[in-house]
Copies of this chain bind each other. A is one copy, B any other.
């Protein structure tokens, strides 16, 4: 695939800078780009532009004097996503069912693709344009919508309901039993898990992430939420729309996360809590209390981030501060002693 720069500019609705006839054959990062390639620069790293050897560059509106042909846009990162999609066309479902291990009850679209080694159990429905890659497992009564991409080695257990445009990465497990027991005096008795998992449109789920089914009611991930690798989502969790949940985060049972919440990497949410919409939880925070909307929280004992910074600053100076206090009190005590004696 090759494009003239002017064609790319048109595609982006951007302002062409310099020679629009330059031919571009691939994308590259700012530091590795060579002749024939296009890259991008954000406001933050404009200074790195001087050494750029690309043939063309996507630049922010503020940049007025690029030494290269380019395209001026509002958000270069977002525009470059579109450029990447021009050169790297997404994998499309081919309408072939290559696996011999698909139950005859399957309801699939004309263009549904199921690859080698995948097992599909009874009463499954899979929509148009959806690609189930190799060695997956789709349990009974599972519904998957249109244009989903289920990567190799994904496990989707019985009764799971998945909307459209959902991406699930390799090794993810959807619908495992929740971790619930009741002690009967002699042993932990397993609580059966009869709920399912419901995943709405446009959700993406990372590699080796686990999402447990609900005990009675479902575990729910709302539309547009993106979940990274190795995340644990326990039974009956409810996650709102357009959340960002970064790698190795863990959300305990029945927690409820509002819309547009960001949980940075390694954070943890205790069971049955509610996190208000538009909250931001910084990396490795442990949330142990309900949070109102728009909270910004951090810390091992999570608190509002600005308080946390003040406490942490005090701790950083603590040995020094305590020593200074001690010296000053010592000296005061001596003075008092002296004054008392003198009397």
Contacts and interface: CB of A to CB of B under 8 A. Distances in A.
B157 A155 contact: no
A183 B321 CA distance: 43
Nearest to A246: B179
Interface string A316-342: 101101100110110011011001101
Contact of A333 (B191, B301, B332): B332
B155 A29 contact: no
A184 interface: yes
B78 A187 contact: no
A335 B335 CA distance: 11
A85 B210 contact: no
Contact of A137 (B135, B216, B333): B135
A181 B226 contact: yes
Contacts of A190: 81, 167, 204
Interface in A250-285: 250, 252, 265-266, 268, 270, 283-284
B329 A319 contact: no
A139 B311 CA distance: 50
A195 to B, nearest CB: 8
Contact of A179 (B194, B229, B326): B229
Range class of the A interface residue count: 35 or more
B247 A250 contact: yes
Contacts of A319: 310-311, 313-314
Contacts of A242: 187-188
A212 interface: yes
A2 interface: no
Contact of A315 (B78, B88, B270, B311): B311
A328 B77 CA distance: 54
A221 B228 CA distance: 20
B171 A171 contact: yes
Interface stretch (A12-20, A60-68, A111-119): A111-119
A6 interface: no
Contact of A152 (B119, B169, B181): B119
Given A87-B194, A206-B176, A266-B250, A216 B27 contact: yes
Nearest to A31: B217
Interface string A74-99: 01011001001101101000000000
Interface in A142-195: 151-153, 155, 157, 167, 169-171, 173, 176-177, 179, 181-184, 187-192, 194
5 smallest CB-CB distances across A and B, nearest first, come from A137-B152, A176-B207, A119-B134, A155-B170, A101-B116
Given A137-B152, A151-B157, 10 more contacts: A119-B135, A133-B137, A135-B135, A153-B155, A173-B207, A187-B202, A187-B242, A212-B229, A303-B316, A332-B336
30 contacts: A27-B216, A31-B217, A75-B182, A78-B184, A81-B192, A88-B194, A101-B116, A115-B119, A135-B137, A137-B152, A155-B207, A169-B173, A171-B208, A173-B208, A179-B229, A188-B226, A208-B210, A229-B232, A246-B252, A248-B250, A283-B288, A284-B286, A301-B312, A311-B315, A314-B322, A328-B333, A329-B329, A329-B332, A335-B336, A335-B340
